[in-house]
Amino acid sequence: MKNFRSTLRGLAAVCVLLAAGPVLAHKGSDAYLEVRGANVSGIAPTEGGLQYTLSVAIKDLDVLLPVDANADGRVTWGEVKAVAPAVLTSLESAAQLDAAESGCSLRWAFDGLEQRGDGSYFRAVAYSPCPSTEPPRFRYTLFRDQDATHRLIITGRVGEHDVLLTTSPQQRESIVLGHSDVEPRRGPWTTLWAYLSLGLHHLLEGYDHLAFLLALVLPLRLNLRSRRGLQANALPTLSQQGARFPMWWALLRTITAFTLGHSITLMLATFGWTEASPTWVEPVIALSIAVTALLNLYPQHWLRTEVLALGFGLVHGFGFAGLLLEAAAPSGLLPWALAGFNLGVEAGQLLAVAGWVLVVQLVVRKPWYPAVVVRGGSVLLILLALMWFVERVV
């Protein structure tokens, strides 16, 4: 113990000299895997294969193999080089791509050492030349029987996705090097919640969806005061309500139609049954705003607003789908993600419409409401939408 302490004292002195340099960590044992596309300049790096760099603490390796061959507690460079072939053999089975990728299994090569926060690490590299459309599956079992709390921290970039994962050798299943998993082990409810907030934010921050909603509700004179007396009577049935409050009834039908429309295409696209390219979806979304606003100026009685909302809703749904696909919903939890996202969009719509209803109360009873708010607002929306259209086409 005395020897060890004096060595530590020496180490501590070096650390102070290095200022923010490495220090012994107060955490369990970690190994690190970095995955990178091998052709850095390529558009689709997976096509060129992947480069794997694995770093394992020498302290940990010594529990598996006699790294410290003369057992004096001091591991020399010579000892590391001598044991390297045995380490690589262990890695070949304990840090490997899944069986399905048998043709392109990793062949580890010794690369040298690496200094990290808690000591020296053995660094191995491997290259997988296999072109792959699927994200690779990695199986890691190193130290499964030697350290119950060992973890592998995976970083890097595979295809279009940043990878940031943590796995344990105790885990029975291999890990997909596909997407970042900031919240590991997501359940249905957390997925629902996460995608609900994604949907909500997307709607509230997606100015084009808001503009479309505005174009739809502009001509409706949503006067809150006209509800006066409702509480006094018994609650009327829906159709009675519709007759008594035509504007509110119209609002409900329009929003529901829009919802129905975008839910359909969102579902179709997310499950991969249809596909839509953003090159036409994005400009058409802009056009939908212009057309709806134009119809506010020149109402066509043969065209019901809810039909319009339903039709354009279908196009907006493709817009949402692109986002959902990019957010890489975990495939097993896709229905939950979809439900959450839809609920989030709906919540966002309700919030936005509620906000509009409150704001519009200031002017809704003014005689100039139709001229200034409806017509003026519609003209502004048309101009804005045409600008977006040009932006998206050019």
Partner 1 sequence: MRLQNLHHLFPAALLCLGLACSIAHAADAIRPTRDDEVVEVLPAVTRQRPQARASEGALLQTPLAAAQAAREAIGVARQTGDTRYWGRAQATLGPWWDKPNAPTELAILQSTVQQGRHEFEPARKVLTLALKRDPGNAQGWLNLAALERLTGRYPEALQACSAVQKAGQSLYATACELETRSLQGQHAQARSGFKTLLADFKQDDQRSWIYSLLAESEERAGKDTAALAAYRSSLQLAPDLYTSIAYSDVLLRTGSHAQALRVLQPLPRTDAVLLRQATAMRRQGDAGWQSLRTSLRERQGALDRRGDDPRLHGREQALVALWLDDDPAQALTLATSNLALQREPLDWWIALQSANQTRNTAQTQALQQQIQTLGLVDARLPGGLKLAAEKSARL
Which residues from 190-249 bind partner 1, rule CB under 8 A? 201-202, 205
Q: Which is nearer to partner 1, 177 or 360 (CB)?
A: 177
Is 268 in a helix, a strand, or coil?
helix
Q: What's the start-to-end Cα distance of the chain, in Å? A: 73
Residue 57: CB partners within 8 Å, gap ≥ 6?
A: 29, 30, 31, 116, 118, 119, 120, 121, 122
Binding span for partner 1 by CB under 8 A among 40-48, 176-184, 187-195, 265-273: 176-184
Q: Is 336 in the site for partner 1 (CB under 8 A)?
A: no
Residue 89 binding partner 1, by CB under 8 A = no
Among 89, 146, 240, 361, binds partner 1 (CB under 8 A): 146
Q: Are strands 151-158 and 161-167 parallel, antiparallel or unpaired?
A: antiparallel
DSSP secondary structure code for residue 101 in this structure: G
Residue 391 is a binding residue for partner 1 (CB under 8 A): no
* Residue 103: CB minimum distance to partner 1, A: 28
290, amino acid identity: A
Does 271 sit near partner 1 (CB under 8 A)? no
Helix (H/G/I), strand (E/B), else coil: 85: helix
Site string for partner 1, 7-36 (x = CB under 8 A): xxx-xx--xx--xx-xxxxxxxxx-x-x--
Binding flag, residue 38, partner 1 (CB under 8 A): no
Q: Which stretch binds partner 1 (CB under 8 A): 49-57, 99-107, 233-241, 257-265?
A: 49-57
State yes or no: residue 392 binds partner 1 (CB under 8 A): no
Instruction: For residue 337, state whether it binds partner 1 (rule: CB under 8 A).
Output: no
Which of 392, 386, 382, 357 is CA-nearest to residue 292? 382
Shortest reach from residue 232's CB to partner 1, in Å: 47
Q: Tell me if 292 sits within 8 A of 215, measured CB to CB.
A: yes
Q: Smaller CB distance to partner 1: residue 281 or 310?
A: 281
Our finding on whether 371 is near partner 1 (CB under 8 A) is no
Closest CB to partner 1 among residues 79, 306: 79
HSE-up (13 A, CA, CB side) for residue 364: 17
Candidates 1, 57, 53; CA nearest to 27 is 57
Strands 109-116, 151-158: pairing is unpaired
Which positions from 66 through 85 interact with partner 1, judged by CB under 8 A? 66, 68, 71-78, 80-81
Tell me, by CB under 8 A, how many residues bind partner 1.
79
Per CB under 8 A, 339 contacts partner 1: no
- CA torsion 215-216-220-223 (nearest 10°) is -80
Cβ-based nearer residue to partner 1, 59 or 375? 59
